[in-house]
Amino acid sequence: MAPMPPIAEDEVVGKPMVLPRGPLRIPQKTRRGPMNRPAPPPYVPAPHPSPPLYKEDTMSDSSSTSGFASIKLENYKKWQDESGSDDEGDGRGSKDRQWFGSRLGRWLKFGFLALMAVGIVVGLAVGLTFGLRDKQSSDGSNDTDSSNLYPVGSYSFESTLQNISTACTSRSSTWRCYPYSQGSNATFFWSISRSGSSYNVSSSENPFAPSFSNKTATLLDQGKPTERLSFAFDTSRTIIPSEPITPTNRAAKCTYSSTLFQATIWTRRSGGRELSGIDDLLKRKAGRKFVAWPGDVQVFQMRPYKAGPPNCEDTDGNKITDIQGGYGDCSCEYSSF
């Protein structure tokens, strides 16, 4: 072994030599570089819930087997839905938009069909209204040519003066009945209207008969051969005596207050027998006012003796006191049968 060189204490120790740093070298690519690339990491699929495991069905009953099979199928579908929910999340918005668009289209179609239906109904209603109105106008119909309006209308009621009684006055000439002779014909012109379930009767201007308006008439025996309208009211009756009743032969008039006027109109009877062909009769006379009434009629005017003597006076208004009351009733009876 060779001896180490001696070291002097005052020897200057030299600095160690440091090699200069050179520039970094970039590795050059080689033709076989791609073959030396590291392999990609292995593909690991996203975790999915595994399908549930079910114990094998060992039951021999066919109905039980089918029941378990349906349960398995439902569970499997449920698992598929759960596993596929993540994949369908991206398309949920587009499906919602498609559903809203289809729903809106259905509502638009429904609204269009509803508008068409309303238009058709309105058109039919208007057409039927004007059609029926034109038909009624062409047929000349009015309130007397339809059976459902009978007996509404204007009629002339032909009758005969049957009986006269002057028992309520001391002078028979002060009570008279138009047309003044028994057995003569008398005609009354009345109009029948309906208000709800009741009927009203009004008279035309007639100097030989009382005038009245909207007197309530009662319908009796409805639907029977004896069906009839009846009305009555109290009135005052003024009569021109048929002979002078004053000492000076001045003209005079007598007024009978509290005189009863009563009328009965048969709607299904004529000449005491059941009336037929009412509709045809009224349709033939449609469009005319005061057509002849097809049924029977009876008119009765009566002044009871209890009402006292008549009030008679001359043209100057002077009362005639020698006319006294009688002990019976005065009356005029008309009838068409």
| Sign of CA pseudo-dihedral 27, 33, 38, 43 | positive
> Quick check: 166 and 140 in contact, CB under 8 A?
no
Q: Is residue 76 part of a domain?
A: no
Predicted confidence at residue 121, as pLDDT, reads 83
Q: Is residue 108 part of a domain?
A: no
Instruction: Map residue 170 onto helix, strand or coil.
Output: coil
Block mean pLDDT (10 aa), the chain, length 337: 55 52 57 55 59 49 48 55 51 60 76 84 76 53 50 93 97 95 94 91 87 95 93 96 88 95 95 77 67 94 95 92 93 96
Spatial CA neighbour of 151 closest among 249, 219, 102, 98 = 219
Q: Is residue 98 part of a domain?
A: no
**Residue 10: what are its φ and ψ, rounded to 5°?**
-95, 20
For tokens 């709800």, what's the residue?
196
**Residue 290: what are its φ and ψ, rounded to 5°?**
55, 50
Q: Is residue 194 part of a domain?
A: yes
**Residue-range definition of the domain harbouring residue 258:** 153-335
Q: Is residue 218 part of a domain?
A: yes
Contacts of 274 (CB under 8 A, 6+ apart): 225, 268
Please tell me the total count of domains within the chain: 1
Q: Is residue 242 part of a domain?
A: yes
Predicted confidence at residue 115, as pLDDT, reads 84
- Predicted confidence (pLDDT) per residue in 133-191, tens digit: 555 544 444 444 444 478 888 999 999 999 999 999 999 999 999 999 999 999 999 99
